[in-house]
Structure 1
């Protein structure tokens, strides 16, 4: 399933002009559009995680693509006056990227990918990018009672809502981005799509027959037992 999905993904990768930002074009039916949502910025983290299961050659291929895509995602943030990303971006010849839907609703996907790339490469650049994004949230969305989204990342106009996933995902991945790798080690834990850590455990698949084959299981652990 992974290999087949990667073939499909790679067929949608394009480069912008003039700066050669790699992006994932959007396919609807038989039509392909030069548009990428911030939601798709989980992909670099997925690729980094997937690369860890390959030997050096294949691993480098997936990790290199992850690094290209996360650079694009980071520039979704850097390209606006508030340094916060809009909901989606269009890529037109000679224009690189331009923001489409201009709201920011505190999404975690780019931070998630920065976390995975930091864990797998040790490159402190990803921490620096994460810190810059956090500062943009602090400067543009912090209010007396918490944080809110933006109606428009080009003007800084605020909305009046803090998303639940801002705490459970966005800030969690930011915290982990600056934590030692031993904190929720990726050798022992896997995160679901809502950033809940599940412990990886093994057991003998067929204890009655004595078959030594192991199967991997996921065990839900209460949050207070993780940190």
Structure 2
């Protein structure tokens, strides 16, 4: 029996981004794999009564996948992949899936003071905590999913693992041999 964590749902976005570095035949293979994995990740959400994914799923041989760890702590990985796939393919399906997931957060996780995770995605029993990455990553990727491509364009920016955009800085061929950081000579320090 195989197991997959929702945390692994960053992989479709990673594969989609990486597919750009290959020739036509190979690029399509990687993009197709990314889209298939994204479908699986989206179905993590669709497989529960709350339409929110559990923490991980088992894939019993010859049977449908089943949620094995039932909590949802508002993770960003699936939304992150949907964002990359939307930006790279223009396929509106990824926006629709993102909207469906957002609506499930609104229905099941919204409280007066913010959003909370679920102890059980089958019953909708809430916990009492909003993880910081929900604001820093999940909502950011949802915002970007519905923003025009001119907002943080992927040919000018990359995101680190915490969803922070970093400007791509290109260097001239002469600068490629230089050190990234300037070495500052040690200075004498008097200890009193």
TM-score w.r.t. the length of structure 2 is 0.90
Q: Give the alignment of 1:167-182 within 5 angstroms.
A: 167-182=135-150
Alignment partner of 1:161 out of 111, 129, 153: 129
Count of matched residue positions in the alignment of Structure 1 and Structure 2 = 179
**One of 120, 123, 129 as aligned partner of 1:152:** 120
**In structure 2, the residue corresponding to 1:47 is in which secondary structure?**
helix
How far apart are 1:53 and its partner, in Å?
1.4
| 1:26 counterpart residue number | none
Give the number of the structure with larger relative contact order, counting CA–CA contacts within 8 Å between residues 6 or more apart. 2
Which residue does 2:39 correspond to in 1? 71
Compute the displacement of 1:44 (Å).
Answer: 0.2
Question: In proportion to residue count, which structure has more strand?
Answer: 1
Show structure 1 runs of 5+ residues with no match: 1-32, 208-212, 218-227
Give the alignment partner of residue 187 of structure 1, picking from 155, 160, 169: 155
Q: Cα distance, 1:206 vs. partner? A: 3.8
Partner residue in 1 for 2:189:
none
Question: Which of 71, 76, 80 is equivalent to 1:112?
Answer: 80
Q: Within the alignment, does 1:45 sit opposite 2:13 as a pair?
A: yes
The alignment status of 1:127 with 2:127, answered yes or no, reads no
Alpha-carbon shift at residue 205 of structure 1 (Å): 5.2
Cα deviation code 1:163-183 (max 9, x no counterpart): 000000000000000001111
Q: Structure 2 unaligned segments of length 5 or more: list them.
A: 181-192
